[in-house]
Structure formats: structure tokens, C-alpha cells
Amino acid sequence: MTEQQTTEPQATEPRTSDPETSRTAMVFPGMGPFRFTDVGEFLLTNPHARRRLAIADEVVGYSVFDRYRQSDADEEAQYTAHTQIAFLTVCLSLADWAEETLGERPELCAGPSFGQRAAVTYAGSLPFEETVRLTAELARCEEEYFRQEHREAVTHCVIHTPEERLQEALAELDAEGEWHDVSGYIDQGFYLVSLREPVLDRFKKRIGELGGYNMYTMWPPVHAPAFGALRRKAEEVLGTFEVADPKLPVVADQNGELLTGADGVRTMLLDTFDRPIRWPDMVETMREQGITKVCIAGPDNLFGRVNRTVDNFEVVAIDARKAMRPRVRQRSARRARR
């Protein structure tokens, strides 16, 4: 399940960098609700997307594009295997386009939350077809797990909520004997919290009373330390895949570690199930590596907009609308010459 976003992170004016000294990171966003109307034409017409979709279709045995289009209006299908594969395809195809058309040459890559799947593929640790297969198998794994365990759990986003106020709300849940985990640290006052859906409305109300704001709620829930058994199931799945050393360094989304070997990449892929993501740590690592510009490749209304990002980097949004725009200008120019 998902809920409509009630407010958005407020970003300050983005920085710009000197092209001669700029060092770039390719960042693949975490997966939030995204609509077929926003990416459908790109998937259908962009040559990079068409090539990757053909590979994905062969791996899973059905048309990812058709299933994504047919299920777009169904909120319950927003995180199904075919939707995840469509998101993965969009992100990697946009990175392909940015390299070919914009000449972007990243020094490293990163991918918070689900974005790590695209990051490890872009970095060369897993071929695209293997990442598609892994995504489909892990989606089935999660579905089976949450059908039996933590059946009422969801993950909820809160913003403009100082840490002490969040801890106050969580302490009240503790006093009631209610389970909760912090699943993500996104920015100052911006957190992901996993808890039981029956207490969600009360928690949201309390956040509002404490001066914070509520964004959307995600199911299946993510990145919670309580999901250790899910990690063990995922480890069995990942054990059938061969993970290679990345050709580009990858920034781990749990602690900001710079990964250059296969073991680190494999650990990151498993840590995502039971360790919270820490975007501030990722930002700090990219700063330490001299990164001045981040290209956000994929549908994103979060990581490229928060203050932690725009205060430290020039942010280039690589989205489907931007990728389609040059084609329109080229056609218009040809008509003008005639």
C-alpha cells in the first residue's frame, strides 16, 4: 500500500560546479510511486530502454512494459516484480542516455535503497539480465516473507521532525509495547520509520502534534533490523548469483563505505533488508572523494532535492522528460530548415 504524499522536502538553491574540475557521481534513486504516464513514452521509444526491455522480457518470460502499463492504476501493484523491473530499466536506460548524449563520465556511483540494484549493475558487479532475475526472485522472496511474518508492518516517511521529537513519539510507542524500527536517515529531520499499520494513524497524528509532517507510507516495509529472517532468505537467493568486483567504486547506502570488491557489494545487497539507509553518510563519502556533481538517474522526488544533497553538490536530474526533450528539438529544427 502507499499513501499520497502530503508535502515535499524543501530544497535550497542548487550549487553549480566548475566543468574543468567537476567530479561526477551517478546516483540511482530509491523506488517510490512512479506513474506509467511519466515514463511510458521513454520506455517505448528510447533505444537504450527498448534494448534493456527486450533483455528483461526474455529473462522473465513476459512483457514488462505491458504488465507495468496494465497495473499502473493499481496501488497494490506499485512494488510488484514487474514494476520494480520497469523502474530498474528506466534508471539504467537514463544513465545510458546521459553518457551518450550529455557526455557524463562518473567517477563512482551510488544507489540508496532499491537504487543499489541499478548501481551495482551500472558498476559492473552484475550483468543487467542477472539483476533482472535477482529482482524478480527477491520480490517473490519478500512477498512470501511478509505473507507470514510482520504481516501488519509498513514503513512511513516523516519530515521536518527534529530527532528529539521523533524519539519522543517512538518512546510513546515503546511505553505501549509497540514495535518500531528507524529504517532510514535521509536528512536533518527526515526519517523512515517502520511500525505496525494499526498504530500508523495515531503515530501520524502524534508527529503532527510535535510539529512534524507526514509523507507517504510504503508496503512492503523496508530496511528494518527486525527483518533478519528476511535477510537470511535473501542470502539463499543471492547465493545463486556471481557478484563481480565493481569497475566503478560503489558507495554503500547503509554506512557510506566505498566498495571496490565483490564481497562488499554482496554484503550491501543483503544489508538492505535489515539495516537502515543513511543518505548523509553517503553524501559525506562522495564529498571526501571530491565529487562536485551528482546525476540522479531515474524518477526521483527525494534524494536529489533534500538540503543534504543540494547544499553539497550540483544536482543534475536525469529523468524521462529531459531525455525526450532533445528529440523534440531535433524534429523542430528539421522542419524549420525545410
Is position 4 within any domain?
no
CATH number at residue 307: 3.40.366.10
- Is residue 116 in some structural domain? yes
**Whether residue 240 sits in one domain with residue 123:** yes
Q: Check whether residue 166 and residue 267 sit in a common domain.
A: no
CATH number at residue 179: 3.30.70.250
Does 2 map to a domain? no
| Co-location of 65 and 209 in the same domain | no
Of 172, 199, 218, which residue sits at a domain end?
A: 218
Q: Are residue 261 and residue 141 in the same domain, yes or no? A: yes
Q: How many CB atoms lie within 10 A of CB 194?
A: 24
Asked whether residue 140 falls in the same domain as residue 83, the answer is yes
Which of 218, 246, 267 is a domain's end point? Answer: 218
Please indicate, yes or no, if residue 162 is contained in any of the structural domains: yes
Q: Is there a single domain that holds both residue 29 and residue 168?
A: no
Q: Choose the final residue of a domain: 180, 200, 218.
A: 218
| Domain count for the chain | 2
Cβ(200)–Cβ(3) under 8 Å? no
| Domain-embedded: residue 101 | yes
Domain presence at residue 192: yes
Is the same domain home to 141 and 272? yes
Q: Identify the pLDDT of residue 329.
A: 42
User: Do residues 282 and 324 share a domain?
Assistant: yes
The pLDDT profile of the chain, 338 residues, written as one tens digit per residue, is 333 344 445 444 445 555 566 899 999 999 877 888 889 899 999 999 999 999 999 999 999 999 999 876 566 656 889 999 999 999 999 999 999 999 999 999 999 999 999 999 999 999 999 999 999 999 999 999 999 999 999 999 999 999 999 999 999 999 999 999 999 999 999 999 999 999 999 999 999 999 999 998 988 899 999 999 999 999 999 999 999 999 999 999 999 999 999 999 999 999 999 999 999 999 999 999 999 999 999 999 889 899 999 999 999 999 988 888 754 443 433 333 33
Look at residue 233 and give its three-state secondary structure. Answer: helix
The reply to whether 137 and 60 lie within a common domain is: yes
Please report whether residue 310 resides in a domain. yes
Contact between 241 and 232 under an 8 Å Cβ cutoff? The reply is no
- Is the domain of 212 the same as that of 272? no
* Whether residue 122 is found in the same domain as residue 58: yes
Q: What does the pLDDT read at residue 334? A: 38
Overall pTM surpassing 0.85 (yes/no): yes
Q: CB count, 10 Å around CB of 307?
A: 15
Which pLDDT value is given to residue 74?
A: 63
**Per-residue model confidence (pLDDT) at position 21:** 65
Give the model's pLDDT for residue 332.
39
10 in a structural domain: no
Task: Residue 46: give the domain boundaries.
Answer: 24-148+225-337
Residues 66 and 108 in one domain: yes
Say what the pLDDT of residue 18 is.
Answer: 52
